[in-house]
Structure 1
Amino acid sequence: MPRLLDKLAQPTRNELALYKLKGVVIVLVLALISQWLGSTKPFTSLGLGSLTLGIGLGAMIGNTLLHTLSPPVLDGVDFAKGPLLRLGVVLFGLRLTFSDIADVGVVGVVIDVVVVVSILCLAMLIGRKALGLDVQTSLLIGAGSAICGAAAILATEPVVKGAPHKVSVAIATVVTFGTLSLFAYPAIYHALPLTDAQFSLFVGATVHEVAQVVAIGSSINEHVADMAVVEKMVRVMLLAPVLMVLSSIVGRSTGDETKKVVIPWFAFVFIAVCAVNSLDFLSDLLRSWLLMVDQILLTMAMVALGLRTNLRAVCQVGKKPFLLAAVLYGVLLCGGLVLVQFAHR
């Protein structure tokens, strides 16, 4: 009799699907709220977009009300930071075309490659050897600093398999120094004898977030903003090869030589989407609609990560992740200036 009652108490497959859908809907609603907040002046002036606000809103709710959700509903939350995140990364390729590479020229591409490779190597060297951080935290902070902030961290998370609180810590570091850039970079432009071409190259090759690149460039003039964004887009395009390399690094770092290296399939699809976008097959209307969907998917992933983040675990991480991010930020500033000065001799 008890076994029969247990079977009757268990939800059916359809009920489990509805619970999971409920979790996805909760994440979607919070993502839409984050997008609305991100479009308001107080947050746009600070360069805080929907991705940053999404993880913040998710963390606040996750650490106060998450215990009220049943496990099947939480499966829907995890779906948002899993398959939906990967789809969002794939659609992110619609922001790029192969002609972007031609626009920045060989010098721009070389500078981007040097920045990405050096920052990732320094993140592993300093994070692991000097600060004693784990591989996942070091790589997440390195990817966010080297490539494109929160979006790069989100794309890297499935590869390095970092816990939600590690992802949140990494995002917090790039948000902190990315926000600082909104004030530091215009000051650098006015303090140093940089041409518009040099400054746009400097901004595109070293600033964390695409939105921050737009904000900083626009504070100077429209031409600087346009050139800086193109340089930044080429840097973003390096995301796919970086994910493949990181997959191999993480596989070796486990200490299990027999462990199979997982190749992130969505990195290949990301490149394919870039190729399709380069061929100009898509209408402007369809492309803009897909980009809107992409922004929603990425924001949903951030909300889901926030919901699953234990703020106690974040606090227990300490100052070392921020110290690593600070060192990387200093290298981006100083090294970036040296590179653009050398490139335009």
Structure 2
Amino acid sequence: MKKNFLIATFVVAIAEYISLLLSNYSIVISSAIVCILAGLLINHFQISNFENINNILTKNFLKIGVALIGIKISFFEFYNYASISFFIIVLNFVLIFILIKVLNSFFDSNKGMINLIGIGSAVCGITAIMAASSVMNNKKNDITCAVAVITLIGTLSVFFSPFFANLIFEQEQIKAGILLGATIHDTSQVTAAGTIFQNIYGDAQSFNSTISTKLLRNSFLIILIPLLAFYCSSQEQKNKIKFFNLLPPFIIFFILLAVFRSIVDATIEVSMLSNWEKIVSFVSTVSKYLILFALFGLGSSISINDLKGFGFKPFLVGFCISVVLIVSTTIYLKLI
């Protein structure tokens, strides 16, 4: 068991190093997808057997990592960012979940995967997929495929969306930033796209609006995950009087941590702000690495042959959702 934990730790560290190194050259490779691919290859070539720790990685580490995400969500920031972007984010949520219903009627056998792709597209990419899967009990193949789709489409968006945003909103670069923040999936991808846009077109305001819009999208996780937990609960659990009986303990901790973050943000003295930001950054980093461990465990528990059956359908689903996001956001921003 110790040997396998050491291998997993080495893979996660290398994946993060590769991601950071390539980002210096404006190459966006998510450490999450590197962890999954490493796990898949190790399992495929039978380099090592991770069955003895897979349950710990994909359940325990994942749940702790999701719970700690709460420290990244501040209602205070949510309020500040809501003025322009709130309506379009809510609208996109509604459109995506309507689209999910439609797509599920066409691809009945892949409902779990489609739901995860929709959730990842609507909120914050891989983080949302992993958080949602922790309460929805999805198949491992569905999770892996959803992560791959979100990563691929988000990566392509990094390189094409900045130019599209400038083409549509050449004289309104704050709106261009909102378009990037509202339509690209993962936070790291949004940051990369915002940086590319700022470097090419030289507008700091666009970057601020990009990040602010993305943070607002991320904040919706605190609404989505408890709702999913409630929806996926058994009827027997729903019949219980106490609301908190419907939520897993790690989701309750997730909510409490977000509330705590919000209270501290609103009341902390300026002299203590730097220390508080360091604490938030540290907890966020721990959360990130725990989820990377979970993704490696996910990859090492799946056979590459099992993934071949998905074909092009998942990527078609992801593409359709992205197109809806871009069109609805563009129309909304043109009208205001």
1:22·1:76 contact (CA, 8 Å) conserved in 2? no
Query: Structure 1 residues 330 and 43, CA, compared in 2 at 3 Å: closer, same or farther?
Result: farther
CA-to-aligned-CA distance 1:231-287 (integer Å, 9 cap, x gap): 111111111321233334445xxxxx8564653443332222222222146633333
Partner of 1:218: 195
Structure having the higher Rg: 1
Distance 2:295 2:333 in 1: 34
- 1:228 counterpart residue number: 210
Q: Does 1:84 align with 2:61?
A: yes
Q: Which residue in 2 is equivalent to 1:289?
A: 282
Q: 1:186 aligns with which of 162, 172, 184?
A: 162
Match of 2:242 in 1: none
4+ residue segments displaced more than 6 Å: none
Confirm whether residue 238 of structure 1 aligns to residue 231 of structure 2: no
Name whichever of 114-123 and 146-155 sits farther off: 114-123
Deviation sequence 1:180-211 (CA, Å, 0-9, x none): 11122112123223512211221111210111
Q: Which amino acid aligns with 2:252?
A: F
Q: Provide the C-alpha distance between the structure 2 equivalents of 1:170 and 1:247, rounded to a whole number of angstroms.
A: 19
Residues 199/341 of structure 1: CA separation in 2 closer, same or farther (3 Å cut): same
1:269: which partner in 2?
Answer: 253
Supply the RMSD in Å over aligned alpha carbons. Answer: 2.2
Q: Once the two structures are superposed, what CA deviation does each residue of 1:214-238 show, in whole Å capped at 9, x if it has no partner?
A: 1111122233222211211111111
Does the CA contact (< 8 Å) of 1:247 and 1:263 recur in 2?
yes
Note if contact 2:120-2:150 (Cα within 8 Å) is conserved in structure 1.
yes
8 Å Cα contact 1:39/1:49 also seen in 2: no
Which runs of 5 or more residues in structure 1 are unaligned? 1-18, 252-256
SS in structure 1 opposite 2:298?
helix
Per-residue deviation, 1:48? 1.7
- How far off its partner does 1:135 sit? 2.7
Long gaps (5+) in structure 2: 199-203, 239-245, 269-274
Tell me: CA distance 1:212–1:141, structure 2 relative to 1, closer, same or farther (3 Å): same
SS in 2 for 1:65: coil
The residue correspondences of 1:140-159 to structure 2 (distance < 5 A) are 140-159=116-135
CA contact (8 A) 1:202 1:336 kept: yes
- Which amino acid in the other structure matches residue 312 of structure 1? N
Shift of 1:124: 2.9
SS at the partner of 1:208?
Answer: coil
Equivalent pair of 1:91/1:273 in contact (CA under 8 Å): yes
- Pairwise mapping of residues 86-235 of structure 1 onto structure 2 (< 5 A)? 86-126=63-103, 128-194=104-170, 195-221=172-198, 222-235=204-217
Specify whether residues 186 and 100 from structure 1 end up closer, same or farther in structure 2 by C-alpha distance, changes over 3 A only: same
Instruction: Compare 259-268 and 57-66 and name the one that shifted more.
Output: 259-268
Q: Over residues 295-333 of structure 1, what are the superposed CA-to-partner deviations in whole Å (9 max), with x where a residue is unaligned?
A: 211111111111112211111122221111111011011
Contact 1:144–1:150 (8 Å) recurs in 2: yes
CA distances 1:105-139 after superposition (whole Å, capped 9, x unpaired): 3442222222123213312321x102224331121
Q: Aligned pair count?
A: 314
Distance in 2, Cα, partners of 1:332 & 1:284: 32
Identity, % of aligned positions: 22
Q: Distance in 2 between matches of 1:264 and 1:181?
A: 35
Query: TM-score when scaled to structure 1?
Result: 0.83
**Deviation (angstroms), 1:81:** 1.3
